[in-house]
Amino acid sequence: MPALLLRLIFVALGLALALAPAAAADAPRYCRSVAAKLKADCDLAAAARAAFGAPPATDDEACLYPLQLLRYADVDVLVSQIGEPGEACHGCEADLSATVLKRLPGGAKRLRAFPSFAKGGTFGAVASLTPIAIGGDDGIAVESGGLFQGYASSALDLYAFRKQGLVALAAGAPLLIAGDDSGAETDASKTIEVESAWSLAAGELTIDYRVTDARSKRDSRAVWSVGETTLTLKSGAPPKELAKAAGQE
């Protein structure tokens, strides 16, 4: 064997050995608590195997937690997060990632991953994940709640699978969908609660609000046009009481 080729082989072996510890350190490790969740949900467990293989468990806070499997017409999307939900600090957001899986007979194939596509919620947890359709594209709706100094609030974030990737649809400000100041307001006659229901159809996001206070219950509606990367208010507006009820006035 020529001496140059032999040297090249040794160099390659040396690089492989040098990179192996780094690769092992970067490999995903499951949160220890996720074992019970995967055991109880065979579809989630199968998706996690297709996405990540069989990672070992760890007690490290930066562990991987498969959260929910979202089903679409042609693919599945596994949403995971860093850290166990509900175990992070009060002001800590959930760090969400998405893995797209192609359904195959007897299993699934990993197609693409979108790490850290969203952050939201408190205590390292979001309230809900919903598969949605935005025009001709699939998407994800993320609802996240928060509680700060007695003010409770919920916000909605929409993400669409566009040609350029998994894109956040920006509304220019947090899209609040609920608020309740009863934990902060000492005078019960002055408390405000705002609830809502949202829907997507024909390229528009519609949110129907209900404001409840000591005087009455009042309903209103706001409609946004859904663009490639933005949400543009088309008619109506969120009720002015919402920011106050959420402690964001």
Confidence of residue 245 (pLDDT cuts 50, 70, 90): very high
Mean pLDDT on 32-36: 96
Asked if residue 245 and residue 153 are part of one domain, the reply reads: yes
Q: What integer pLDDT is reported at residue 150 of this predicted model?
A: 93
Structural domain boundaries, residue 198: 127-249
**Final residue of a structural domain among 124, 143, 171:** 124
Q: What integer pLDDT is reported at residue 188 of this predicted model?
A: 93
- pLDDT above 70 (res 219): yes
Domains in the chain: how many in total? 2
Confidence of residue 25 (pLDDT cuts 50, 70, 90): very low
Mean pLDDT on 217-232: 97
Pairing of strands 30-31, 57-58: parallel
- pLDDT above 50 (res 151): yes
- pLDDT above 80 (res 24): no
Q: Give the phi and the psi of residue 161 in degrees, each rounded to 5.
A: -80, 95
Q: What is the 3-state secondary structure (H, E, C) of 215-235?
A: CCEEEEEEEEEECCCEEEEEE
Residue pair 160/136 in contact (Cβ under 8 Å)? The answer is: no
Asked if residue 73 and residue 138 are part of one domain, the reply reads: no
Asked if residue 156 and residue 112 are part of one domain, the reply reads: no
Is 7 a domain residue? no
Q: Is 92 exposed, middle or buried (0-12, 13-18, 19+ CB in 10 A)?
A: middle
Secondary structure (3-state) at 172: coil
Asked if residue 156 and residue 61 are part of one domain, the reply reads: no
Q: What integer pLDDT is reported at residue 17 of this predicted model?
A: 39
Asked if residue 148 and residue 111 are part of one domain, the reply reads: no
Q: Which of 145-149, 176-180, 201-205, 213-217 has the lowest mean pLDDT?
A: 145-149
Asked if residue 150 and residue 101 are part of one domain, the reply reads: no
Is 249 a domain residue? yes
Is 206 a domain residue? yes
CA dihedral 177, 182, 188, 193 (to 10 degrees): 10
Is 9 a domain residue? no
Distance CA 112, CA 98 (A): 8
DSSP annotation string for 189-201? GG--EEEEEEEEE
- pLDDT above 90 (res 138): yes
Asked if residue 32 and residue 120 are part of one domain, the reply reads: yes
**177 vs 5, which has greater pLDDT?**
177
Q: What integer pLDDT is reported at residue 14 of this predicted model?
A: 44
**Final residue of a structural domain among 89, 108, 124:** 124
Residue pair 166/117 in contact (Cβ under 8 Å)? The answer is: yes
Is 237 a domain residue? yes
Asked if residue 190 and residue 158 are part of one domain, the reply reads: yes
Asked if residue 245 and residue 183 are part of one domain, the reply reads: yes
Asked if residue 211 and residue 176 are part of one domain, the reply reads: yes
Q: Which of 47, 50, 57 is nearest to 27 (CA)?
A: 57
Q: Is 238 exposed, middle or buried (0-12, 13-18, 19+ CB in 10 A)?
A: buried
Q: What integer pLDDT is reported at residue 6 of this predicted model?
A: 32
Secondary structure (3-state) at 34: helix
Q: Give the phi and the psi of residue 153 in degrees, each rounded to 5.
A: -150, 160
Asked if residue 118 and residue 133 are part of one domain, the reply reads: no
Residues near 249 by beta carbon (within 8 Å), at least 6 away in sequence: 243
- pLDDT above 80 (res 15): no
Average model confidence (pLDDT) across the chain: 89
Is 110 a domain residue? yes
Is 199 a domain residue? yes
Q: pTM for the complete prediction?
A: 0.86
Q: Which of 3-7, 29-33, 77-81, 154-158 has the lowest mean pLDDT?
A: 3-7
**4 vs 224, which has greater pLDDT?**
224
**Final residue of a structural domain among 124, 148, 174:** 124
Asked if residue 111 and residue 55 are part of one domain, the reply reads: yes
Q: What integer pLDDT is reported at residue 26 of this predicted model?
A: 63
Is 23 a domain residue? no
Share of the chain above pLDDT 70, in %: 90
Distance CA 122, CA 214 (A): 29
pLDDT in tens, 46-71: 999 999 999 999 999 999 999 999 99
Q: What integer pLDDT is reported at residue 197 of this predicted model?
A: 98
